[in-house]
């Protein structure tokens, strides 16, 4: 009996598995961002006695987290056709590799290099 496997139509992008709208990677970013907001926004709101000013402070404190989650989870770097989180990981790895390559052992000018062996014909 042959096994049937469904192949997604768009092979170049990640598969949208949650209701056909978002992928697992995007869902993880949304959950982590929501947990961060859940823990620190009420503390920022409680710093001020006036509720209106507290709401404004809470919104401004949530803005960087929301921007970061949306950037890493949903935006693409169009020049390289990569998601921003993968693009930033590649950039970080590249920067850690700079300066790690060497030519070889240093040879002082007083030492002579070994002579090359002549090839036999």
Domain borders along the chain are 24-97
The per-residue pLDDT string of the chain (121 residues; one tens digit each, 9 = 90 and over) reads 678 877 766 666 676 777 777 888 888 888 999 999 899 888 888 888 888 998 898 899 889 999 988 888 888 777 877 888 888 888 887 766 666 556 666 656 666 666 777 776 6
Cα dist from 6 to 1, 9, 20, whole Å? 16, 9, 15
* Model-wide pTM > 0.85: no
């Amino acid at each position: 009996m042959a096994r049937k496997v469904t192949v997604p139509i768009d092979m170049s992008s990640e598969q949208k598995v949650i209701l056909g709208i978002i992928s697992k990677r995007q869902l993880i970013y949304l959950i982590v961002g929501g947990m961060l907001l859940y823990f620190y926004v009420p503390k920022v709101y409680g710093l001020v006695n006036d509720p209106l000013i507290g709401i404004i402070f809470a919104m401004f404190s949530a803005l960087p987290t929301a921007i970061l989650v949306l950037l890493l989870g949903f935006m693409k770097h169009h020049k390289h056709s990569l998601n921003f989180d993968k693009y930033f990981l590649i950039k970080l790895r590249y920067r850690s590799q700079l300066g790690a390559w060497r030519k070889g052992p240093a040879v002082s000018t007083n030492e002579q290099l070994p002579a090359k062996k002549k090839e036999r014909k």
